[in-house]
Amino acid sequence: MDKNLVLAILLPFLALPLQWLLWPWLTPFVWFLFYPTVFFSARLGSLWGGLISTVTSIVMVWYFFMPPQLSWALDNPSRLYSIGLFLIMGYLFSVTHQRLKLAQHNNETALEARFAAAFEQAAVGIAMLSPDGHWLRANQKLCEIVGYSHDELLARSFQDITYPDDLEVDCNYKQQLLQGSIQTYAIEKRYLRKDGGIVWANLTVSLVRHADGNPDYFVSVVEDIQQRKNTELALRQSQADMAKAQGIAHLGSWNYNLAGGWVTWSEEALRILRVAPGTNRLDTEALKDLIAPDDRPAIKAWVGACRDGQQPNDLVFRYLPPDGGMRYLCVRGELLGDAGQLPASMAGTIQDITEIKLAERAVQEGRLKLEAALASMSDAVFISDVAGHFIHFNDAFATFHKFKDKQECAITVAEYPDILDVFMADGSLLPINQWAVPRALRGETVNNVEYSLRRKDTGETWVGSYCFAPIRNDKGSIVGSVVTARDITGQKQTQEALRVSQERLLLALDASRDGLWDWDLRTGAVFRSHRYYEIVGRRREDDTKDFDFFKSTVHPDDLASVLATIEAHKQGKTPIISFDYRLASPADKTTWVRVKGQVVERDANGAPMRIVGILSDITEHKLAEAQIRGLNTDLERRVEERTAALIVANQELDAFAYAVSHDLRAPLRAMSGFSLALQEDYGGQLTGEASEYLAQINVAALKMGDLIDGLLVLSRSSRGELRLDTVDLTALANNWVAELKRNAPGRQVAVYIEPGLQTQGDARMIEAALRNLLDNAWKYTQHTVSPCIRFYSELRDGRRYFCVADNGAGFDMAYANKLFRPFQRLHRQDEFLGIGIGLATVQRIVHRHGGTIEAQGEIGKGAVFSFSLGQ
């Protein structure tokens, strides 16, 4: 039974207890709650509901509320009237609601029919689904879309025919609809067709609820979009292919909408422009800021030219990407649209050519660097093409070939045989095909080959060290040559000088019989020459090439001092190493050797790195040395003995002379004194020859005194120290002659004394000698008529002689050898007084000065005494 009808019938039973409870306040309106009850029962239950509710309500009111209550009695007959009125009104409610319901039903039926027609004939699939997803209704179109018959479809849920990947999205949306959070949704989803295919559909769903708000059913509109999807897919594929192609080509495309003022960019174009993907529409204003200001006018002109229908050349401009930096971009483009039509857009491509630009610049810079490098090189560098034509050559090339400058140089190798001769090291003339450039062009690569060159015009010759190689292209074929040449004439000369010097050194070393050693302190390695092994008496094969080998050759007793000497030199305490030591040789033979050497290299800290030196066998030298030392010792001893004896003799002589000077004189003085006293005091008493005898005693005493004086002078001239003074001979002679003249005022003697005579020697001795000679000259001219004395100097055999000459008595050269002996006289006392000791004294003095004296004389003509005083 219709639950609305039941509710309609039950409503009076609900109203009864309520009115019963409220009755104290509702009295006397017995129908108070029942009018509304009947109205709603009629609305719910239509005719029959209304009528039953009306009757039920009358019975309840009659019994429970009409006084007397709880009885069927009526207190007033008018109550029947109110009952009748309620019954009529109940009937009217019921009929009215019955009518209303009928009209509504008719209306709905007509709507339903129209809806069904529309439903079935719609161009889109429409379906109703229960909240749990079962198909309630589906139209023909939907059946076509999914390929099921109507009945087959209704036997399935929507989940059964939804493509699994799309199911979750669909279910989620439906859940949201059920919860009321959305009113409707639209998605694109795939359905599984009966034939197994997939169909794309646009699905729009809304929920129809019951009047009470509970979900009733979903209405789904399904639009078949498979074709669109196919087109889209094809388009996307085509776009992807396009993007890929652009990506590969790094070529972006663009389209300039002239009316709209915006530019549409391809994905690759955006990558080139370095703007975020998706920003595929950049208006021209925004773009302007990204172009280097200097290039903006050029861009404007280019766009203008394009717009005018010209086809301008590709334009390269500098672009400043939003993320910084600078790129070179190249655009090309043209106007789209047919002639005569108003063009709507321009299109073209864009390309990032920064790398190309940079590469171009790098090539350019590389070229400049190469030029600079070539110019700065001191070696001649020349690069030729395959024909031997010099494409590049530097200033050093001109210098090397003795040209005045680069302009003067011949620029193909073929011209050079007229300019130069080229020789090999052995002096043979080289044909041109053996020169560096032709050899390089034949594919040879050579380092450091030496050629001698000679200029044909000047005859100048020099030596060049050449390196050359072919230049090949990427396919490996020779396209040219590169040659460098260095003038090594000076180097060669130095090398030659070094070689000669080394050879000389080696010859000298061989000649000196010395061994050579060279000790590298960094590695500890020691080189020794073959002579070294001969000296130390060891075999080269036994050499460990280190310092230990050296130590093994040193006599154990000498080792400590040898090591100390080497260490001291290594620390820089001695300028050279030089020491002698004995070899560790068999006991019966002692070999002495001498090492001399020097640190020849030190590092930055002064630590020695290399010591070089020689080793000499000095055994014989040592023996000779020992002998000489022995002889020297002996000699020294003998000299000491002799010297001691001489000293004693000299001392004795000294003492003797001293005694003579004191003690021999006193008796003479007594003889002279008393003989004179006798003469003075008793002269008158003496007779005859007595006075004469006394006088002779006095004369003898005086003579004896002169002899003693002479002996003392002679003795002193050979004793005592020899001083070294500067002696003015001229002054000495002048003074002494003046003295002589004073003592003999009666004599007229012509005296010539050479001015400016000087010598070195003991002043007192030289004065004594000179006085003696002048005395003699003075004495022996006393009988001459025109006496003349000369003192002068002369140079003989490189020695200076001082001469005292007179024109006096002279002497017989036959006795000349006796002149200088003590107490030897060539004249009698009655001719010339004298004791014969003066010239002996002079000779002693001259000899003590290392000089010589000689005498020339002739009887009656005079004499010349010449003396020199050593150096």
Partner 1 sequence: MNNKTILLVEDNAQDEMLTLRALRKAKVANQIDVARDGQQALEYLFKEGAYVDRDGADLPTMVLLDISLPRLSGLEVLERIRADSRTRLLPVVILTSSDEERDRLKSYEIGANSFVQKPVDFAEFAETVARLGIYWLAINEPPHH
| Nearer residue to partner 1 within complex by CB, 720 or 836 | 720
CB of 574 to partner 1, least distance (A): 52
The two tokens of residue 588 are 């019966």
CB of 668 to partner 1, least distance (A): 5
User: Beta partners for 424?
Assistant: none
Cα–Cα distance measured from residue 200 to residue 189, given in angstroms and rounded to the nearest whole number:
6
| Nearer residue to partner 1 within complex by CB, 665 or 847 | 665
**What interhelical angle do 690-717 and 619-659 show, nearest 10?**
160
CB of 560 to partner 1, least distance (A): 58
CA dihedral (581, 583, 588, 589) positive or negative = negative
CB of 568 to partner 1, least distance (A): 54
CB of 678 to partner 1, least distance (A): 11
| Nearer residue to partner 1 within complex by CB, 263 or 694 | 694
Quote the DSSP letter at residue 175. H
Cα–Cα distance measured from residue 346 to residue 309, given in angstroms and rounded to the nearest whole number:
10
Reduced 3-state DSSP string for 542-586: HCCCCHHHHHHHECHHHHHHHHHHHHHHHCCCCCCEEEEEEECCC
Instruction: Kindly list the distances between the CA atom of residue 125 and the CA atoms of 150, 204, 219, 227, 435, in Å, as whole numbers in the listed order.
Output: 12, 10, 11, 16, 95
The two tokens of residue 470 are 């072919």
CB of 704 to partner 1, least distance (A): 8
Give the number of residues written for the chain: 871
CB of 691 to partner 1, least distance (A): 15
| Nearer residue to partner 1 within complex by CB, 479 or 670 | 670
Q: Are 263 and 271 in contact (CB under 8 A)?
A: no
Strands 853-858 and 526-528 come out as unpaired
Cα–Cα distance measured from residue 462 to residue 821, given in angstroms and rounded to the nearest whole number:
82
CB of 732 to partner 1, least distance (A): 18
CB of 713 to partner 1, least distance (A): 10
Cα–Cα distance measured from residue 728 to residue 731, given in angstroms and rounded to the nearest whole number:
6
| Nearer residue to partner 1 within complex by CB, 483 or 765 | 765
Phi, psi of 176 (to 5 degrees): -65, -35
CB of 682 to partner 1, least distance (A): 14
CB of 669 to partner 1, least distance (A): 5
| Nearer residue to partner 1 within complex by CB, 220 or 672 | 672
Question: Residue numbers of the site for partner 1 (CB under 8 A)?
Answer: 658, 661-663, 665-670, 672-677, 698, 701-702, 704-705, 709, 712
Other Cβ atoms less than 10 A from the Cβ of 432: the count is 14
| Nearer residue to partner 1 within complex by CB, 421 or 709 | 709
User: Beta partners for 597?
Assistant: 577, 613
> Which residues in 549-558 are b (16+ Cβ under 10 Å) and which e?
ebeebbbeeb
Cα–Cα distance measured from residue 553 to residue 538, given in angstroms and rounded to the nearest whole number:
9
Alpha-helical runs (H) found in 339-488: 354-376, 395-400, 436-441
Residue with tokens 């001392």: 651
Cα–Cα distance measured from residue 752 to residue 757, given in angstroms and rounded to the nearest whole number:
13
Phi, psi of 43 (to 5 degrees): -70, -35
Residue with tokens 């396009």: 242
CA 52 to centroid of chain Cα atoms: 118
The two tokens of residue 368 are 């400049």
CB of 719 to partner 1, least distance (A): 11
| Nearer residue to partner 1 within complex by CB, 709 or 854 | 709
The answer, yes or no, to whether the previous bond of 28 is cis (omega within 30 of 0) is yes
| Nearer residue to partner 1 within complex by CB, 450 or 709 | 709
CB of 680 to partner 1, least distance (A): 9
CB of 804 to partner 1, least distance (A): 25
Instruction: Kindly list the distances between the CA atom of residue 507 and the CA atoms of 229, 499, 513, 530, in Å, as whole numbers in the listed order.
Output: 104, 12, 10, 13
| Nearer residue to partner 1 within complex by CB, 351 or 672 | 672
| Nearer residue to partner 1 within complex by CB, 152 or 709 | 709
Cα–Cα distance measured from residue 396 to residue 367, given in angstroms and rounded to the nearest whole number:
18
CB of 677 to partner 1, least distance (A): 6
**What interhelical angle do 763-780 and 690-717 show, nearest 10?**
140
| Nearer residue to partner 1 within complex by CB, 526 or 769 | 769
User: Beta partners for 485?
Assistant: 380, 466
CB of 778 to partner 1, least distance (A): 21
Burial status of residue 321 (CB atoms within 10 A of its CB: 0-12, 13-18, 19 or more): middle
| Nearer residue to partner 1 within complex by CB, 291 or 697 | 697
What is the torsion angle, in degrees rounded to the nearest 10, for the CA atoms of residue 728, residue 731, residue 737 and residue 741?
-160
| Nearer residue to partner 1 within complex by CB, 362 or 702 | 702
| Nearer residue to partner 1 within complex by CB, 705 or 822 | 705
Q: What amino acid is encoded at 791 in this protein?
A: F
Q: Are 793 and 869 in contact (CB under 8 A)?
A: no
| Nearer residue to partner 1 within complex by CB, 526 or 765 | 765
